[in-house]
A and B are shown apart, each in its own frame.
Chain A
């Protein structure tokens, strides 16, 4: 038992000494994630510029020609740069990508309305980005809604004026109420009101923590396998469990120290809230590190070269960015892809860290359990593989 502890502690000491010998790497490991988050927080505005829009009105209409009039109808989603009468020229400018939107008013809207028919407002845009396309749809919906409300307001006003002129007794309902009989009074009951940095901070932190753990361990074991050290381990009394525990503990110490420093910078410098307190945060970080180290160790044990280990680590990172909920919500994927998301430690790390730091709770407690299960399964998988590598003579 004492000799086992001696062997394990040898590994911890060796790994930590090696890490300390690379102060540049150590500094970049700590400062890198912090700088990424700081730049993200400072640089990300959380909104996009309004669409540059040209309004086309019929030549013989009496529609306003002041761009400001149309702009106030769009609640800032469109920036009206021109009101013209030539739709073809406007569409050419749209194709040339000089403008983002062309809104063409119908030529005979009043007649159509009096005839009891809908008029079509032609709205065109030129987008290949599906997100921007979605935003354009929303902007058009809001524009049409506001346009219809304005028409109803105007019609109601004229109706009341006509009725009053004829001496009719009508109940005076404000045209605004007729146009929009209901309005939303909103309230966000979340315990904190995070800005973009606050919300993405824990997610970036979880992603960086997983990536660090995966990359460090993946490369460490591959180096030992390719550098000939594994032959020395094979001849020595070291067994696979001692080696694995030594690696886990060394990199856990390493990850936790880096996490503590980055978390301190996150909270005290960038001001990200930590409503849940230190203990749940530490527990999540511990479980996330445990599971992520398992991913790295497994990569290192199945890779034949450093290049392959780096490639697999990058694949894990890419999968994490796409499927973990970091960019796109997990709930928006089909069920089989969600399973893939739940296999990634960072999916649970992001969710539980955001819940803990921004809501003060754990949220879905099963996610903590999932992190533990992923960690144990990867540990056992690594142990089996390492046993074959270490004791299975070629």
Chain B
């Protein structure tokens, strides 16, 4: 975690939102959101439809004005980006917004020109961008003749074509098959490894594992922000163990075991246990049950899916009526 106070230029966040709120005709699309993102990081923004992901991206790119709060990208106000900042930024919109009557490579050529890439540099970088999204063979096909998934990849290639340092990608993998999705995430990770900063929104919860950090949004509010694995742990309050026994077992039999935060009966011979540390809790559980004459058949660490974990976090957030993370605790590096 990096506190946003007076960092040096090198440490300064590339993207920073402080208490940002956006309202549309009285409806709050984004509510008091704070986050910061350092160089060479990939932040995944996950949330159901209408959770404020696209609104956040549009505010960070300067196409939408926040109702309250402050946004800095490359240490500039997005509403007044300098040309240099604009040349360093890429934006991939959620919907296909390229030209149907141009071929894939002509669309890239146009976008490269928009960002001031000179003619003599274009052919090489267009080829590289198309190869990155596996569209080189379709370079001469009209955009209208590409499938939905290919059009998304073409949009992504357009975002990459001018070699940006900061990328705002609004659902880049929507409508793309799992194999190609993985390939795209590998490309995005490669961009991150080159030192670029990426803010990526997605509705696919399983995509979370590809990101360095995850922002979980629901109804415009920040539910949680952390590394993917930490969020999974946080959803269930710690490590989750599944205990299977040879005879009937009851939760109170583990009352004396330390560091257990939750014990739940799944069936007469199985329990789900949540603990701070699975490594020390597992032998203690086995010993406690053995002392009460119950042999343990198995103790397994259960890895809940991100879908389950985020569903729990969102549910908790709704129950509490506030986000799990306070805005001033939103992390970044």
List residues of chain A with CB under 8 Å of any chain B CB.
2-3, 6-7, 9-11, 13-14, 17-18, 21-22, 227-229, 231-238, 393-394
Q: A9-B113, A228-B93, A237-B86 are in contact. List 17 more A-B contacts (CB 8 A).
A: A7-B113, A14-B110, A17-B102, A17-B106, A21-B102, A227-B97, A228-B96, A228-B97, A229-B97, A231-B58, A232-B111, A236-B115, A237-B114, A393-B62, A393-B63, A393-B79, A394-B64
Residues of A within 8 A of B95 (CB): 228
Contact, CB under 8 Å: A18 / B97: no
Central interface residue in A11, A228, A235, by most chain B CB within 10 Å: A235
What are 8 A-B residue pairs whose CB atoms fall within 8 Å in the complex? A6-B118, A9-B113, A10-B112, A11-B113, A14-B106, A18-B102, A231-B91, A232-B97
From A17, A227, A234, give the contact of B63 (CB < 8 A).
Answer: A234
The 8 closest A-B CB pairs, nearest first, are A10-B113, A228-B97, A3-B116, A237-B86, A393-B65, A21-B101, A235-B91, A237-B83
Asked whether A233 and B99 contact (CB < 8 A) given A17-B106, A228-B93, A394-B63, the answer is: no
Q: Which residue of B lies closest to A390 (CB)?
A: B63
Q: Which residue of B lies closest to A229 (CB)?
A: B97
From A3, A10, A393, give the contact of B110 (CB < 8 A).
Answer: A10
- Does any Cβ of A come within 8 Å of B316's Cβ? no
CA distance A14 to B116 in the complex (A): 15
Query: What is the interface residue range for chain B against chain A?
Result: 35 or more
Contact, CB under 8 Å: B142 / A13: no
Contact, CB under 8 Å: B101 / A22: yes
Interchain nearest-CB distance for A106 vs B (Å): 75
Contact, CB under 8 Å: B97 / A238: no
Residues of A within 8 A of B58 (CB): 231
CA distance A210 to B63 in the complex (A): 34
Contact, CB under 8 Å: A14 / B63: no
List residues of chain B with CB under 8 Å of any chain A CB.
58, 61-65, 78-79, 83, 86-87, 89-91, 93, 95-99, 101-102, 106, 109-119, 142, 158, 168
Asked whether A232 and B101 contact (CB < 8 A) given A13-B109, A393-B62, A394-B63, the answer is: no
- What is the count of residue pairs linking A and B with beta-carbon distances less than 8 angstroms? 88
Asked whether A10 and B97 contact (CB < 8 A) given A237-B86, A393-B63, the answer is: no
Residues of A within 8 A of B102 (CB): 14, 17-18, 21
CA distance A234 to B58 in the complex (A): 10
Contact, CB under 8 Å: B113 / A13: yes
Contact, CB under 8 Å: B91 / A232: yes
Residues of B within 8 A of A237 (CB): 83, 86-87, 114-116
Contact, CB under 8 Å: B114 / A233: yes
Contact, CB under 8 Å: B101 / A236: no
Q: Which residue of A lies closest to B102 (CB)?
A: A17
Q: Which residue of B lies closest to A4 (CB)?
A: B116
CA distance A18 to B142 in the complex (A): 11
From A2, A22, A236, A393, give the contact of B114 (CB < 8 A).
Answer: A236
Interchain nearest-CB distance for B140 vs A (Å): 13
CA distance A22 to B100 in the complex (A): 11
Central interface residue in A6, A227, A238, by most chain B CB within 10 Å: A6
